Structure 1
Amino acid sequence: MKNLLTNPQPSQSDYINAIVKLGSCVYEAAQVTPLQKMGKLSERLHNNIWIKREDRQPVNSFKLRGAYAMISSLSEEQKAAGVIAASAGNHAQGVALSAKQLGLKALIVMPQNTPSIKVDAVRGFGGEVLLHGANFDEAKAKAIELSKEKNMTFIPPFDHPLVIAGQGTLAMEMLQQVADLDYVFVQVGGGGLAAGVAILLKQFMPEIKIIGVESKDSACLKAALDKGEPTDLTHVGLFADGVAVKRIGDETFRLCKQYLDDMVLVDSDEVCAAMKDLFENVRAVAEPSGALGLAGLKNM
């Protein structure tokens, strides 16, 4: 995985090799999650609809995969200094648990308005929490500043090759669980999950259509595709806060542009309907960002 540490734009083969190798270490923290059929919805839509149950991870999110992939790949010197991250939710918990699993110090910078339940969850996984800033961008700036002062490694939520490769382990599981996938709908916030899933699936089953799904009020990838480069959104909606990202990552944009087949935008009503379907079909209680992919499927 050396190329993913030193090369800001690894090749597809570099990514595939890393994802395969990560399959032997990511599961020290993460779990293989079911690809569960949604029976009622499948009948209603006359298609076999499957949902990847990443809500069953120890941190209830796929974010653990990318966090552990990067943190476990650090040098012994970097591990000794500890890691730092900025997040208001799932990435924070993924970093905290990964660091705890590896016996490292983790400092998580969270916006001052972060709900106490999320702060407590990070602390419950062993992370030290610093509340700073009015939003994610201010928290991130503080985390990067502290990483330099304390010589700690900053663990980005999506825009790093190792984080992307870690999320790609999810796609490896999917291919082993269901052999005849036609479409895969994947939510897009910063693009790490979509990039990791797409680059793996297109290598082994290029006929699969991979559709990125964004919230209409947080469509940073769509804005970047329209402009031809990453660009800042002037406003980001907070209903689906897990994908409320102002600017797509540079590397995730490069990969999504190359490997995604199409994009779908959904509104809050469509997301709410998908959340209802998830509960009625598989008794999954999903946050809005977790229901985005299903909302996109129903929108097509």
Structure 2
Amino acid sequence: MVRTRLDLDRIRAARNMIDPVFLTTPLYRCDALGHQLGCTMSIKLETANPVRSFKARGTELVAGHLADQGEAAVVCASAGNLGQALGWSGRRRGLDVTVVASRFAPTVKLDRIRSFGAHLELVDGDFDMARERAANIAHQRGVRLVEDSLDIETCEGAATIGLELVGAVSAGDAVLIALGGGAMATGVGHVLKALAPTVEVICVQPLGAPAMTLSWHERRVVTTDSTDTIADGVAGRYPIPAVLDDLLQVVDDAVLVREASIVTGMRLLLEHAGLVVEPSAALGIAAILEDPDRFAGRHVVTIVCGSNVDLDAYHRWVHR
């Protein structure tokens, strides 16, 4: 029995609330990439949807529950992808969505948040400063604050990815999951440990944003003063205690990778899979590059979690 805040029955039921456009995303073997990396490589493509990331699986649950309760407004902090997803889900249900983000977030993400009809407020700091401002807005206006990874809907929505992976993995396989706040890692990890417990669940985080990984290894919350990574989508400094508690139950390992490996991973996904991805989506490939012996000859699944990337920055990274 996997004991976390998540519930397998609720996760199965979530599929009935999530718009099908976000479900059953492509999962396929990529032989060219596997040959390059020395393993059997499968890609779970969470970018093939209207918001280009997995986040809408969770925001569909949040927005659906709010609409059912007659709520009219919602606010969140976002590094970019959650805000887009909440804007998309909220607009479909008539919700007034406010997103607080860092003005240093990629312009493409900020523009797409606006395009989905959300009100965007920018702060002169990082994601954690945006989270503080979002909490203040929620308190002042008396509206729901959506906190990614803390709110169970964000985890259980992401967990539906795990349901789609179960039939494709077996004993000895590894699933690599980008680790930021922890919603995807706890959600997918919960399902795999419940239904495919012999599969190794490995979280991957940048060396320049290591807070959750350090916390996992020390089994206590470890914060950092700053972050320094191109993987903006996973660059948090303050892990949420309840999320860490869940993560400790469902993850077999958490590793840190260098920026150069992330860039190489992005390049390999372009060259061998034809995928343009944001840095967070290349973390799994980076982990294989940094420890090839660990994965040699194994079947490895990596979740490509987002493709909202500034193309000018992308070209500088990948084509330098």
TM-score w.r.t. the length of structure 2 is 0.84
Q: CA RMSD in A?
A: 2.0
- Cα distance in structure 1, aligned partners of 2:75 and 2:5: 29
Choose from 143, 154, 168 the match for 2:145. 154
Residue of structure 2 in register with 1:42 after alignment: 34
Cα 1:81–1:215 shift into 2, 3 Å: same
Q: How does 1:102-141 map to 2 (within 5 A)?
A: 102-141=93-132
SS for the counterpart of 2:208 is helix
Residue of structure 2 in register with 1:5 after alignment: none
Using the TM superposition, give the Cα deviation of residue 82 of structure 1 relative to its aligned residue in structure 2, in angstroms. 0.8
Using the TM superposition, give the Cα deviation of residue 14 of structure 1 relative to its aligned residue in structure 2, in angstroms. 5.0
Residue of structure 2 in register with 1:165 after alignment: 156
Residue of structure 1 in register with 2:269 after alignment: 278
Q: Structure 1 residue 183 and structure 2 residue 174: aligned? A: yes
Identity %: 27
- 1:270–1:295: 8 Å Cα contact kept in structure 2? yes
Using the TM superposition, give the Cα deviation of residue 103 of structure 1 relative to its aligned residue in structure 2, in angstroms. 1.7
SS for the counterpart of 1:278 is helix
Residue of structure 2 in register with 1:198 after alignment: 189
Choose from 226, 235, 247 the match for 1:244. 235
Choose from 65, 68, 92 the match for 2:57. 65
Q: Structure 1 residue 85 and structure 2 residue 76: aligned? A: yes
- 2:74–2:95: 8 Å Cα contact kept in structure 1? yes
Moved more, 115-124 or 233-242: 115-124
Choose from 38, 45, 62 the match for 1:53. 45
SS for the counterpart of 1:265 is strand
Using the TM superposition, give the Cα deviation of residue 208 of structure 1 relative to its aligned residue in structure 2, in angstroms. 0.3
Using the TM superposition, give the Cα deviation of residue 161 of structure 1 relative to its aligned residue in structure 2, in angstroms. 1.6
- 1:29–1:64: 8 Å Cα contact kept in structure 2? no
Residue of structure 1 in register with 2:216 after alignment: 225
- Cα distance in structure 1, aligned partners of 2:286 and 2:96: 38
Choose from 241, 261, 264 the match for 2:255. 264
SS for the counterpart of 1:285 is coil
Cα 1:215–1:58 shift into 2, 3 Å: same
Letter in 2 for 1:285: V
- 1:71–1:155: 8 Å Cα contact kept in structure 2? no
- Cα distance in structure 2, aligned partners of 1:214 and 1:115: 19
- Cα distance in structure 2, aligned partners of 1:254 and 1:135: 25
Cα 1:73–1:28 shift into 2, 3 Å: farther
Q: Structure 1 residue 294 and structure 2 residue 263: aligned? A: no
**Structure 1 runs not aligned, ≥5 long:** 1-9
- 2:31–2:41: 8 Å Cα contact kept in structure 1? yes
- 1:183–1:209: 8 Å Cα contact kept in structure 2? yes
Using the TM superposition, give the Cα deviation of residue 13 of structure 1 relative to its aligned residue in structure 2, in angstroms. 8.7
Whose RCO is larger (CA < 8 A, sep 6+)?
2
Using the TM superposition, give the Cα deviation of residue 57 of structure 1 relative to its aligned residue in structure 2, in angstroms. 2.1
- 1:161–1:251: 8 Å Cα contact kept in structure 2? no
- 2:231–2:278: 8 Å Cα contact kept in structure 1? yes
- Cα distance in structure 2, aligned partners of 1:46 and 1:217: 27
- Cα distance in structure 2, aligned partners of 1:133 and 1:196: 31
Q: Deviations over 1:9-30 (max 9, x none)?
A: x945952111101011113562
SS for the counterpart of 1:73 is helix
Letter in 1 for 2:88: L
